Each structure stands twice: as C-alpha cells, then as structure tokens.
Amino acid sequence: MHRAVIDHRSQEFSQLGSEILENLRPLFQTAGPVIIYPSSGTGAWEAAIVNTLSAGDRVLMFETGHFSQLWRQLVERFGIAVDYVPGNWRRGASVADLASRLDADHNHTYKAVMVVHNETSSGVTTSIADLRQQMNRSNHPALLMVDTISSLGSIDYRHDEWGVDVTVAGSQKGLMLPPGLSFNAVSDKALAASKSAGLPRSYWDWQEMLSFNKNGFFPTTPATTLLYGLQEALKMLHEEGLPNVFRRHQRHGEATRTAVRAWGLEIVCEDPREYSSALTAVFMPEGHDPDRLRSIILENFDMSLGAGLSKLAGKVFRIGHLGSFNDLMLAGTLSGVEMGLRLAGVPHQPGGVTAALASLAAIGH
C-alpha cells in the first residue's frame, strides 16, 4: 500500500480498477457486478438499503447478535418497518421462523429478508443456503440481503448459488486490509429493484458507480492506496485457493474450540453446525470479569482479545482466527489466553494449548 497515489483518471488507474473489479467476483462467487465504496461496512449497508427500498416498506430481519441490531437501527432510520425475529445470540437465523413469517405474509409485504452471515459478537454462522431454500419453498419474492463483513474471504460464501440479491462486505476482516473499503455484490433482481426504489441516493447510487466501473473508474475520488492493498490481498487469496483458505479457517476454528473445551470454559455458539471459522466467543466463569482478563493479556503479552458487545458485554471474550493467520500464530494466541487465565485467577483446567496443537496435527493441512 505504501506507493505513490496515481491519477485516478489515468489509463494506469483504469487497468488497476478493472483488474480488481474482475478479481473480486470469484471471492463472492458471483458472475455479477461487485461495487466498491470508500467507507466502512456500514456504508455498504446503507447502499443496499437506499438502492432497493422505499420509505414505508417492510422487511424481515433476525436477531442474531450485536450487528443485526445495528443493521436494524440503520434500516429504521429510513422509515422502513422492521419485523425483527427475536433470538438468544447463541444461534443463527432460524429456517422455521423464516418459514412461518413468509407463509403468513400472503400479500408479500416483505420487500427484503436481511441476515448477518457471521455474527462477530457471538461466533455464530447462519446457513444462507438453507434460508434461500426456504424462501424458494415459500415462493416469496423478497430480496435476500446478507452481511458478510466478518465472513467474506474466511468462510465459504456463494452469492450466486445461494440466490443472494445483495451481499454486504468490508475490507478489514478476511481481506486483511485496514478499514475503509466496503462492497455490494448485486443480482439482476436487485438491480431491477433499484430502478423503482424510492429512497433518495447520490453517493451510494449503484447506477452511477456501475457506469464508471465499466472502464475501471469511479465517479468520486477512490481510496487508491487501499485499492493497492486490495489488489495484493486478492492475489494472496487466489494463490492459496479459496477452498484452501476456507479449510485453513475451519482448522483454526476447531483447534480454538478444542482449547476452550480443554480449559473447561463454555463456547457461546450452541449449535456445532453454526460454529464460526472466523472467531470464537467464550463465556467467562460466573463472578469473573472478561475485560480484566483482556487487560491483563494486553499488558503482559501485547495481545488484544475482543470484548463482549451489547447483551454479551461483561460476559464473554472473543478470540479471532481469521485473515492472514497460520498455525504458529494460533498457537501463540492460545498460549497468551492460557497464561492470561492463570494470571487473572480465572478457574480453568490447564492443557488447552496442548489439546489445540494435537487438534491441528490430527486435522492436518
């Protein structure tokens, strides 16, 4: 990324932009367009909303954790009614709940179904394929919108095969970049909806972006140095091969959970079928403060663990294992956690790191 910024109206930039836009498609597993914005993932959320919906529309969302709550709040600010299916933050979106809501919606008032693929707050991954199959069984025309901010490039995700209409993503997780870029992968159905959507839009307008993207350009000043990084990140992912990337994350997730079980601690995610390959959220024993543990680990080992968010604040800590990450880095991470548990006086069984190493060796590369 540490290169001079080039003229964003030059032929050199056109080649850069065209290459990136083309190489993004396999990452989303789509043959359709992927739109890039200089923004956090929240910007991609807003783009998904304003390009497809109108004030007064009704959408269906699932309470899967902190980030589903934030998405709901953003949607409601545009005057859109949200039917928010309650959840316990330990499971993904329920196919049974989706079926009952859609089958009761005889007049097809739901314009979109919105779901977070991987909840960073809880370490729970929802099966998007199962949700789409239910939408098809219910013969419901709602758009399917999916937040992949913490899963893209780490967990298998198939925009086209799973019939997703708008995929929302960001640069700071599996793409191994600083925050600052966000993405919308869009279906033909979503593009058609954008022509009749009534919410005002200017900066977030897909049509203007796609018009400039045809030649590798952007209508506004792009984040050129982040695009340099994105170009390299895509090369890294494609060189490793996406199936290998996904297997690596699965190995690290399983090894981490093996360590947590060996310590005698409880994993937040209840259903093994929904375990996240990107991170693991862990409950602290009653009467012990996860933020104190995090502080001790940071002070002693210069390692930062994730805090509990919203309903899980003061109850959990989170171990990330995504992005440019290997076995040795995971071993160091888990060693820091185990030493921190001992320093903080948290009740646990020793041997979590040893169990994780055995898991890594058993699973193989």
* Residue 127 pLDDT: 98
Please give the structure tokens belonging to residue 274: 């929904």
Q: How far apart are CA 237 and CA 174, in angstroms?
A: 9
- DSSP assignment letter at 36: E
Is residue 364 over pLDDT 90? no
Mean pLDDT over 237-241 rounds to 98
Q: How far apart are CA 309 and CA 122, in angstroms?
A: 9
Mean pLDDT over 354-362 rounds to 95
Is residue 365 over pLDDT 80? no
166-200 pLDDT, tens per residue?
A: 999 999 999 999 999 999 999 999 999 999 999 99
22-44 pLDDT, tens per residue?
A: 999 999 999 999 999 999 999 99
* Residue 55 pLDDT: 97
* Residue 340 pLDDT: 98
261-295 pLDDT, tens per residue?
A: 999 999 999 999 999 999 999 999 999 999 999 99
Question: Which of 133, 128, 115 is CA-nearest to residue 64?
Answer: 115
Question: Which of 150, 64, 125, 88 is CA-nearest to residue 272?
Answer: 125
* Residue 355 pLDDT: 98
Please give the structure tokens belonging to residue 333: 């991470």
Alpha-carbon distances, residue 327 vs 41, 307, 346 (angstroms) = 29, 23, 26
293-331 pLDDT, tens per residue?
A: 999 999 999 999 999 999 999 999 999 999 999 999 999
Mean predicted lDDT score pLDDT of the chain: 97
51-109 pLDDT, tens per residue?
A: 999 999 999 999 999 999 999 999 999 999 999 999 999 999 999 999 999 999 999 99
Is residue 363 over pLDDT 90? no
Residue with tokens 């390692």: 303
